[in-house]
Structure 1
Amino acid sequence: MLELAGIVAASFLAALSGAVVPGPIFALVVSESLRGRKFAGPLIILGHFIIEGVIILLIFLGLDPLLEHAGVKIAIKYVGGVVLILMGLQLIRGALNMRSMDISESILTSNSNVTDLSALGLIVSGFLASCSNPYFFLWWLELGLPAIAGFTSIAGLSGFLSFLAGHVAADFLWFSFLGFSFYRGRRILSWKIIRLLLLVSAAYIICFALYMLFAHI
């Protein structure tokens, strides 16, 4: 039992160390929470979990070498870069169209209409943001896959499930905390500051995409 608890703790800390580093998911959670989506964090990370589930399924089917194929890497790099740029431009458009009344109304009524994304849209955006990030796939190939193999060899299926529990808990708790914090923070921030934060988040996503497109990955 202590062995499994150790696996959960190790997985939790490893996932948390990656989650706290700002990336597309981080910026997306911040921006959508500031726009009045109380559950942006949990919903966006749910989309992230879906693509992680696909990767884990590929690993168990022995198809993980597909992720290392040159064609797949190129597709992720260029298609992903374009998707992230479009996502950033959409955030900029929303921020520039934001008015003081939008923020005040959303705080008083918790009206989700201040954002363009539905609950399903947030899940899809989390899925796309993860799929569009080649570093996400690199993490799984270089850290996730060896961790699954190692923990499974130590404790079998229980080791894998313990790894999964720690990993999911870290991502879910961190991004839920991040989202709720920025959602509540709207009450003490002026609408101009909120708009600035949205623009910064959008700029970060676009800069990340441009770096990804021109860097040797």
Structure 2
Amino acid sequence: MAELWVISLTWWMVSLSGVLMPGPVSAMAITEGARRGPAAGPLLTAGHALAEAAMLGALAAGVSTVLRQPGVVGVVGLLGGAVLAWMGWGILRAAQRGEVVPAHPGAAAGAETASGSGRAGPGRARLVRAGLVVTAGNPYWLLWWATVGTSYFLLFTRFGPLAIFLFFFIGHLALDLGWNTLLATLVGAGRGRIPPAAYRVVVGVAGLFVLAMSVYFLISGLRFLTA
């Protein structure tokens, strides 16, 4: 049991180092936090979790060697770069038009429910899809899981399926959830108190970052394909 905790702690520290690195999901958490408040963090993480659950299933099926192939990583990079370019352009246009600032702090929340029923509206589903797409389209997320993630997965297999699910998967996902929610909360807490122009600047910078990431992914994808 002590060995499991030691391995888990090192895994969580390694995971935290990856979570804290700026990336497209972090940029989306900031952008959507300005639009929709703290709820954006868990919704984006839900989409991110779908991608990571699929990755866990792939690791269990033993496909990590396939994920290391340069051709696979290259194609993922090109597709991910194209999607991020589309998303980044949309964020910049929204910032320019002032669409990122809700009319009042509760406006975004009200728009997300159907007649007070509490059911998820199109906006919430879109955030979940966004979290899934920007995660799955990141070639370095794929490489990270094919190398670092796979190595730790093999360590956890000695402790059985329950340890893999709780300590490996849920432990890692909890860090993603905490960080994305924190970012969205910090930005969303200022809705109604920060001038609209300042919000447009913050969201515009996030959009530029997403565009920069798209260029990075596209170039990286081409490099993997031509290596």
Same-fold call, TM cutoff 0.5: yes
Partner of residue 179, structure 1: 184
Moved over 6 A (4+): none
Partner of residue 164, structure 1: 169
Partner of residue 57, structure 2: 57
Partner of residue 107, structure 1: 105
Partner of residue 122, structure 1: 127
Alpha carbons of structure 1 residues 158 and 94: separation in structure 2 relative to 1, 3 Å = same
Partner of residue 209, structure 1: 214
Q: How many residues are treated as equivalent by the alignment?
A: 213
Instruction: Indicate conservation of the 8 Å contact 1:7/1:159, yes or no.
Output: no
- Once residues 66 and 169 of structure 2 are traced to their aligned partners in structure 1, the CA distance between those partners, rounded to angstroms, is 22
Instruction: Indicate conservation of the 8 Å contact 2:40/2:127, yes or no.
Output: yes
Partner of residue 39, structure 1: 39
Partner of residue 147, structure 1: 152
Point out where structure 2 has 5 or more consecutive residues left out of the alignment.
Answer: 113-120
Instruction: Indicate conservation of the 8 Å contact 1:29/1:178, yes or no.
Output: yes
TM-score by length of 2: 0.85
Q: Does 1:134 align with 2:139?
A: yes
Q: Higher mean Cα deviation, 55-64 or 131-140?
A: 55-64
Report the 3-state secondary structure (helix = DSSP H, G, I; strand = E; otherwise coil) of the residue aligned with 1:188.
coil
Q: How many percent identity over aligned positions? A: 27
Instruction: Indicate conservation of the 8 Å contact 2:31/2:206, yes or no.
Output: yes
Instruction: Indicate conservation of the 8 Å contact 2:65/2:146, yes or no.
Output: no
TM-score by length of 1: 0.88
- 1:130-154 C-alpha deviation (Å, 9 max, x unpaired): 111101011101110000101223x
- Once residues 155 and 51 of structure 2 are traced to their aligned partners in structure 1, the CA distance between those partners, rounded to angstroms, is 22
- Once residues 156 and 126 of structure 1 are traced to their aligned partners in structure 2, the CA distance between those partners, rounded to angstroms, is 29
Alpha carbons of structure 1 residues 166 and 50: separation in structure 2 relative to 1, 3 Å = same
Equivalent runs, 1:2-17 vs 2, <5 Å: 2-17=2-17
- Once residues 13 and 122 of structure 2 are traced to their aligned partners in structure 1, the CA distance between those partners, rounded to angstroms, is 31
- 1:7-27 C-alpha deviation (Å, 9 max, x unpaired): 443332222111111100000
Partner of residue 198, structure 1: 203
